[in-house]
Structure 1
């Protein structure tokens, strides 16, 4: 017993030293600021957490943690915690971002070199948000079917109404999909409407595009199967998704409509009244930098909003095409659309998808 007791006390200084070291380590961990960022999970989350955030963390001695979810999920969380935000930065689709700004959930992004470099279409009013990746909704088509039928690639949104596509048009629901909404709004413009007046589109649809539609789908998830089974000939889609489908061996091609594709931006905003306002601004600035955007392009297939992002290989071709199509791309009036969309959705569901 005596020998055991003496041995125990002999070890006490070591135990005390280890305890002191553990405590100092815990204190150090507590001093590392942590930023929580809301964004889509999957490929996007993986690209950012593996190839973008580590450089920021090293530069600023910080930790970035992703809160995964859809744009609607992230917006709901931000709104629920408006008085005491749990997140510092959030990624939202452009239409939902405009809603978030209107709710007072975002703070103005500070001027920076990177912010000044991004495309004008990626800068939101008063710099309350900024685009981190760029896309556009145009037309896509079943390349195998078109080749077998001897059809030329589509060139206009009105090709959706071509009688030869009867029963072969697949259209995403306007009430649940940005792609469907974009396609309908472009059709509406051709009919003489605008983003505040959709009467011409609703009036013309049942006798033009409507008879050609095989199915209205809630999202694009079902498209790959419908292309492979030969059900789908033509449909609204983005060049990025077309590229991803082609990599899987699905016979699909993108076709830029002559009337213009619709700009689709994934945007970020610094959340108002968050606990790390300065560091959050630094993160938002960093995410617009050429190096950050080049990494997300390479590892996440996200098209840069900063044209100075270095690109190479197949990515260079894709970005060059996007830059070319951006010259005729349409930016829609999200404030008017968000104000009227509930009524439009109800009308769409009752009269188009009835």
Structure 2
């Protein structure tokens, strides 16, 4: 007993063990839904032995938490937030050159390696075909302005969702920009049921609470796989491929383990596993979508619009205030 107590009190260096190796965990701030989190975190722990301590919330909520903790970070990784939020908060990230740089196009990673993209999400409309027959479904973003859809379209509060912010600002530009664009967006908000978290949108459509939802592409095949009457509408007036990524939080308690996760999450076999199970398009350029489930069309078959992501990122704070005003006026 005495010998065991004494040995337990020995400094780690005397035992020949590095101090950092003792912390076999990583704290991950994740904006992804539980299906993806559970899949990835279990597989990551099984392979590496590193325990994941997740903190799940909307991307906007996580970004605000990062900023509040910048003096003493409690997390190691932020994962599943938009390029806009990654760029806005990049001063809070530690540079790390992932092992997967070569397979990730330059447009999907920070030039200083402060973040790297994982997923590409097309901004789309979800339809519950049991509540709304396919023949009666909207075909375009403009169709959603019809007053008949009032209260029937689920959407996420852009203050809590990077993709929702991208959707609103994309539509401002698509609908003429300036006052003209904002006027049409205000008309759209009158038809929306605004929810606090992205997952509530596709759950609402999948469970039959709403006939339509403005969401992300993966939600359609994911819910259809589970037997829900859900399909994806690719708006005929065009859409945008929004990127989500991962970054190492500067000064986090488990930085070495965080870097292991960054390499893991963008590895080709892991991306294929994720697509098969959750239908996220990878940013990697060497994954063959035609050989994988989901039936997602290649980007060449989808009408994509030009979107000034950098410009809208720079004026994010001011724009969120404007969106807040529009949202309040629509109630």
Please say whether Structure 1 and Structure 2 have the same fold, judged by a TM-score greater than 0.5.
yes
Q: Distance in 1 between matches of 2:64 and 2:158?
A: 21
1:42 aligned onto 2:38:
no
1:52 aligned onto 2:44:
yes
SS at match of 2:282: coil
Deviation string, structure 1 residues 179-217 (Cα, Å, up to 9, x no partner): 543443233222211xxx4x22222345x5466x26444
Deviation at 1:347, TM superposition (A): 1.9
Task: For 1:1-354, list aligned pairs within 5 A.
Answer: 32-34=21-23, 36-40=26-30, 42-57=34-49, 63-70=50-57, 71-94=59-82, 95-101=84-90, 104-110=91-97, 112=98, 114-124=100-110, 126-147=112-133, 150-151=135-136, 154-162=138-146, 165-167=148-150, 169-172=152-155, 173-178=157-162, 180-193=164-177, 197=178, 199-205=179-185, 209=188, 213=191, 215-220=193-198, 221=200, 224-225=203-204, 232-274=210-252, 280-309=258-287, 316-318=292-294, 320-321=296-297, 323-324=299-300, 328=304, 331=307, 332-333=309-310, 334-351=312-329, 353-354=330-331
Q: Distance in 1 between matches of 2:233 and 2:125?
A: 5
Judge conservation of contact 1:168–1:234 (CA < 8 Å) in 2.
no
Judge conservation of contact 1:157–1:186 (CA < 8 Å) in 2.
no
Deviation at 1:287, TM superposition (A): 2.4
Judge conservation of contact 2:124–2:216 (CA < 8 Å) in 1.
yes
Q: How many residues align?
A: 319
Judge conservation of contact 1:224–1:250 (CA < 8 Å) in 2.
no
Q: Distance in 1 between matches of 2:295 and 2:315?
A: 29
Backbone CA RMSD of aligned residues: 3.8
Q: Distance in 2 between matches of 1:318 and 1:139?
A: 16
The alpha-carbon distance between structure 1 residues 260 and 287, as it changes in their structure 2 partners (threshold 3 A), is: same
Q: Distance in 1 between matches of 2:35 and 2:207?
A: 24
Judge conservation of contact 2:123–2:214 (CA < 8 Å) in 1.
yes
Q: Runs of 5+ in structure 2 lacking a partner?
A: none
Q: Distance in 2 between matches of 1:227 and 1:88?
A: 33
Q: Which protein is bigger by CA-based radius of gyration?
A: 1
